[in-house]
Amino acid sequence: MLTAAAGMVNALAFLATERFVSHVTGTATQLGMSVASFWLGLDVAFVIGSFVLGAMSASYVIDVRGHAGKRPLYALPLFVTAALVGGAGVAGTRGAFGPFGGGADSPADFAFLIVLAFAMGLQNGAVATSTGMVVRTTHLTGPATDLGLSLAELLFGPTERHAHARRHALLRAAKLVAFVSGAALAVPCARAWSYAALLVPAAAIALANALSFVDLRALGRAPHLRFSTRRA
């Protein structure tokens, strides 16, 4: 669900401004290509820095607090992500960022990108930190590489490794499908609601965050909902 939401946010950012926000590779390429324009390069650098700052913030409230003996705030980063994405959608409908689909030509457009980039960095950092740096949800280069490695192990590796490779291949393939599906869903939603379409991934992120604390095993044993004390 988080990967699909990231795909939708990324697609909506592109449809609104012709810029991506859920990963750094394309933005870093734009930074290199904008060396002839100082102000454009500065704006692009702020988008990259915002993503990094989001990841840093997630690590602080989860990992750094835990090492300091404080209670990790597992839920906070993703709820803030949902609030930022939804808030950007509401602000856009009220004219804060200029016309939807007009490209990134003004400080307001880059403010929109900076908010979404921070939100995506926050989400990616939260999931990566909570899973021991195993899972990322906002970009596909790493998962696609891992999929290729898992398929090679499944096809050519020792038999005792096949079950492990199959699980990892299915996880990575599911992430690819989810991201693409989220991006595909963004197109009709953008046509219908423009900036307000961001409320859809915002709701999905909030729901995924809430569900990650539900002890699904307990649901089959008890007539009432019970919540896990640690992150799934």
What average pLDDT score do residues 45-57 get?
A: 95
DSSP 228: -
Nearest to 184 by CA among 39, 12, 59, 1: 12
pLDDT confidence bin for 225, thresholds 50/70/90: very low
pLDDT at 130: 84
Q: For domain 2-219, which CATH number applies: 1.20.1630, 1.20.1250, 1.10.3470, 3.30.70?
A: 1.20.1250
Out of 7-11, 28-32, 93-97, pick the least confident.
Answer: 28-32
Taking 70 as the threshold, does the pLDDT of residue 189 lie above it?
yes
Average pLDDT, the chain: 88
Taking 60 as the threshold, does the pLDDT of residue 228 lie above it?
no
pLDDT at 10: 96
pLDDT at 215: 57
Query: Which CB contacts under 8 angstroms, 24+ apart, belong to 23-28?
Result: 23/120, 23/138, 23/139, 23/140, 23/141, 24/48, 24/51, 24/52, 24/139, 25/139, 25/141, 27/51, 27/117
pLDDT at 70: 80
Express each pLDDT in 62-82 by its tens digit: 887 777 778 878 889 999 999
Out of 90-94, 108-112, 223-227, pick the least confident.
Answer: 223-227
- Compute CA distances 193 → 12, 49, 74, whole Å: 11, 29, 32
pLDDT at 231: 40
Taking 60 as the threshold, does the pLDDT of residue 125 lie above it?
yes
Tokens of 107: 């400080």
Tokens 């393939």 -> residue: 173
Q: Say how many C-beta atoms besides its own lie within 10 A of residue 232's C-beta.
A: 12
pTM: 0.88
Q: With beta carbons less than 8 A apart as the criterion, state whether 47 and 24 touch.
A: no
pLDDT confidence bin for 44, thresholds 50/70/90: confident
Taking 70 as the threshold, does the pLDDT of residue 172 lie above it?
yes
pLDDT at 224: 43
